[in-house]
Amino acid sequence: MINIAADLQIPEIKARLDDLLDAEYSLKFFDSSTVSAFDLQNIDALLVRSTLSVNRELCKGTGISFIASATAGVNHLDIDFLESERIAWSYAPGCNAYSVIHYVLAVIGELIKDKLFQEKQSIGILGYGNIGKRLYKILRALNFDVYVCDPFISKPELVDLDSLLECDLVTVHVPLTFHDFYPTINLLNESHIKKLTNKIIINTSRGEVVSEALLMNVKDLIYISDVWINEPSPSRELIQKSYIATPHIAGYSIEGKLNGTEIIAESCAKQFQCLKTKRNESEKLPDWPHEINKIIQDVHDMSFPMALFNSELDLKSISASLKALSIKEIERGFRSLRENHPPRHDFNSFSFKNIVHLDKKLDTEFFYGLGRAGYF
């Protein structure tokens, strides 16, 4: 019998465990805001999200031998402690990559609509991992001038940080690190003020990657952020200064969450050597549920398919709700907005097979280009 404890906010975790575990198990749910070591006595496997700090205080004396986080990051896991105690651990890298890309593309659409950015301007991607690689392909398919910086990767198309900061828009996709060869804490800082004047930054990585001193002192910077220092009590002043401010929901699509669930359930089954043989089942994508002609109209009007991204993700509305919170409301409100984020699908989870037949004047190569980028 495998005794498993799982965050009650991990969607469909029981169904995925049933699908993948070829062994008897018990499942106990917990609330990450109140759980303690006392609640985890005699637990073998702990399945968590980023809202729970997994450390000595939580795990010591519980008997836990395996930790899995349904997230793409691991800053909430005390890896040194886990490894010192020989507690195996796993996470879900790339699970919400498309969700974050969707967020970035929705932001770009809002910037174009508000005449703050144009297709002919350049985009720099900071980080060439699970998100950066995919984002690079799709931005190229959308005909943007795109550059990438990642010191850990040697490729001819990559540039250094100073060159990247010459771009009109920089979107940040790096993990938060402190002690590596290239630590990312305060990676963008006051030394970059001149480079970032009159520029745009999109931050969906971690708040600490971009220095608040930079953000409060640089002139005419358009800042869009989904992540903040000191969450869930971020600086209200910085929230108000941001063009778009959201409560850490960029990766919160239905597909992003379910991908994380699938990955950690499989990791758990492998850890306890009870993985069922998986069936290869191909799912037919549902048709686009919104007004498909709106996508075509946006391509004609803006040279950018804004409706493809903002039909499922209304960033301006989410931002307005966060900005409306008072100082006294900020912590509770931030948590509430995140926990109650409306269900949304990634744009690549739908079929667009008929779109090329709706307008003969539309350059169908545009949509074929998106297909080659791995989306449709």
- Assigned token pair, 250: 């960029």
Question: Over the Cα atoms of the chain, what is R_g?
Answer: 22
Q: Any residues with CB less than 8 A from the CB of 103 and at least 6 apart, and which? A: 204, 226, 246, 250, 251, 313, 315
Which residue among the candidates 12, 76, 140, 231 is catalytic per the annotation?
Answer: 231
Distance CA 256, CA 304 (A): 24
Distance CA 367, CA 365 (A): 5
Distance CA 15, CA 262 (A): 10
Of residues 196, 202, 231, 203, the one with CA closest to residue 217: 196
* 122 strand-pairing partners: 145
- Contact present, 375 and 272 (Cβ < 8 Å): no
Instruction: Indicate if 231 belongs to the active site.
Output: yes
Instruction: Indicate if 76 belongs to the active site.
Output: no
Distance CA 202, CA 172 (A): 6
- Contact present, 126 and 106 (Cβ < 8 Å): no
Cis peptide before 232 (omega within 30 of 0): yes
3-state DSSP call for residue 98? helix
Task: Count the Cβ atoms, other than its own, within 10 Å of residue 79.
Answer: 13
Which residue among the candidates 16, 192, 248, 344 is catalytic per the annotation?
Answer: 248
Instruction: Indicate if 344 belongs to the active site.
Output: no
CA-CA-CA-CA torsion sign (129, 65, 23, 29): negative
- The Cβ-side half-sphere exposure at 60, using a 13 Å CA radius, reads 6
- Contact present, 122 and 145 (Cβ < 8 Å): yes
Which residue among the candidates 206, 262, 312, 344 is catalytic per the annotation?
Answer: 206
- Contact present, 21 and 268 (Cβ < 8 Å): yes
Q: Any residues with CB less than 8 A from the CB of 14 and at least 6 apart, and which? A: 27
- The Cβ-side half-sphere exposure at 341, using a 13 Å CA radius, reads 25
Strand runs labelled E in 87-132: 88-90, 122-126
Give catalytic residues, as residue numbers.
206, 231, 248
